Chains A and B, each alone.
Chain A
């Protein structure tokens, strides 16, 4: 079974940039059947709200990973929409002009329901790339100024139906998060983050459709063996599991069939 991991951070806290380290990640992935990893960047290395220079530093790192190993890694452009329309557009266009970038990544600079998200929507449409938004239920963790509750990410997807949105962290958004995402054809959920809580993958497939659930691990924070087996052991048809592990990400990342 071929696998694409749409949610990885091989460069994490400044570590993992050297070719030898990246080759170890590739070997690790290939051993487990992962044929492609998508790099989201070292997104918290400069804190919650990186400035333009810091964004360029992070994106240059991600771009370098994707350029060094183009057959294995793609990358997402990390943006901070609080920097305004001009900065957001400039960074999106700078990166999109380079090979390897296949989407936009948003972390915790702002809540996904913030008005500044219009800049992201504009950039995503201009460069024709999907947007992956870090999401987590804020019921227990709070900090909604920075954290995006699944209802906030769903609101973003609803506001901009022409933008493809990936709501990250199935375990973090939980059962309610799945229901918040339901009925929005432009909204996908990735399975990264959190422990493999029983029943959530099946619940997501039931309510969103298997074609809207995408495998992700959150490497190096999570264990690929666990995150993959969570989907492989889900009580779902094999075709649905294959969609989650490979087909949906291949489509979102526009990867050529290998």
Chain B
């Protein structure tokens, strides 16, 4: 298989005893699940007061590891977001940036997002909007961060209609709420799950808007990939979700 993972991470995850892998180890781990390329962010960017130290660690790691494509995290709520973006572009090449509104404590209706989205368009960068990284019910007891609410996502998609966004860590039920009114988003499937997930979701949502995502290392990678590799769907659809859509969307 030649899968592309649109949601993999380097760096430490402080809430569970999961591996903090080197770039080489992550690439080998993903390869064992049939994943040859992955869009990778650094988990340190969630927790640091400013994400650039984590982004710098990300760039340093992926430079030595073919197959890992850097997706730096930008915090547009900070006054220096333009500097963050400029440094990432200089360190690049990059295809996309990721935002984590709830970890970075801003709402998607914030005014500064106008300039931020315009800057992304100018730099021809895709946006990955992370809704959550784990089940809201299982968070560390002192971490009061929930997923980005659907009404906020809906407003954001409406406000930035000319941008096509990849929603990451979204639940199946949330996709079902957004899908009827919004065409400008795709979904990575790491946190969409029920029996026959894809077979059922594909009845209402086109294959060209799904991408494989594993949420590594928070989730077990091979188990997440099995949602796609074990699905009873046509080979062409599997190829689209497994790699084709990501190749097209991120111009890989």
Contact = CB atoms under 8 A, between A and B. Distances in A.
Contacts of A203: 17
Interface of B: 16-19, 33, 134-139, 141, 191, 193-197, 215-227, 229-232
A118 to B, nearest CB: 30
Given A195-B134, A225-B230, A230 B139 contact: no
B219 A198 contact: yes
Contact-size category for A: 35 or more
A32 interface: yes
Given A140-B138, A171-B135, A197-B134, A222 B194 contact: yes
A137 to B, nearest CB: 7
Contacts of B19: 198
25 contacts: A28-B196, A136-B137, A139-B141, A141-B137, A195-B134, A196-B219, A196-B224, A197-B134, A197-B135, A197-B219, A198-B19, A198-B217, A198-B220, A220-B194, A220-B195, A221-B194, A222-B194, A223-B195, A223-B227, A225-B226, A225-B230, A228-B226, A229-B222, A229-B223, A233-B222
A219 interface: yes
Interface of A: 28, 31-32, 136-137, 139-141, 171-172, 174-175, 194-201, 203, 217, 219-230, 232-234
A228 B230 CA distance: 11
Contacts of B225: 229
A224 B219 CA distance: 16
A198 B218 contact: yes
Contact of A197 (B16, B196, B227, B229): B16
Nearest to A203: B17
B220 A196 contact: yes
Nearest to A230: B223
Contacts of B194: 220-223
A28 B231 CA distance: 11
A112 B201 CA distance: 36
B217 A225 contact: no
Nearest to A12: B195
Contacts of B191: 195
A11 to B, nearest CB: 13
Interface centre among B16, B216, B225 (most CB of A within 10 A): B16
Given A195-B219, A196-B220, A226-B227, A140 B17 contact: no
A28 to B, nearest CB: 8
A136 B137 CA distance: 9
A140 B219 contact: no
B193 A171 contact: no
A22 B221 CA distance: 30
A221 B225 CA distance: 18
A139 B141 CA distance: 7
Contacts of A226: 193, 223-224, 226-227
B138 A137 contact: yes
Given A171-B138, A194-B135, A199-B18, A229 B193 contact: no
B17 A199 contact: yes
A191 to B, nearest CB: 11
A32 B196 CA distance: 12
A2 to B, nearest CB: 17
Given A197-B220, A199-B16, A232-B222, A223 B193 contact: yes
Contacts of A227: 223
A197 B138 CA distance: 10
A32 B229 CA distance: 12
**CB-CB nearest 10 A-B residue pairs:** A225-B230, A233-B222, A229-B226, A196-B223, A230-B223, A220-B195, A225-B226, A196-B220, A229-B223, A198-B18
B196 A140 contact: no
A225 B231 contact: yes
Nearest to B217: A198
A124 B68 CA distance: 54
Contacts of B16: 175, 197-200
Contacts of A221: 194-195
B203 to A, nearest CB: 15
Contacts of A195: 134-135, 191, 193, 215, 219
Interface centre among A28, A219, A226, A228 (most CB of B within 10 A): A226
Nearest to A140: B137
Contacts of A223: 193-197, 226-227
A233 B136 CA distance: 25
A140 B226 contact: no
Given A217-B195, A232-B222, A234-B220, 9 more contacts: A28-B196, A195-B215, A197-B219, A198-B19, A199-B17, A220-B195, A226-B224, A227-B223, A233-B222
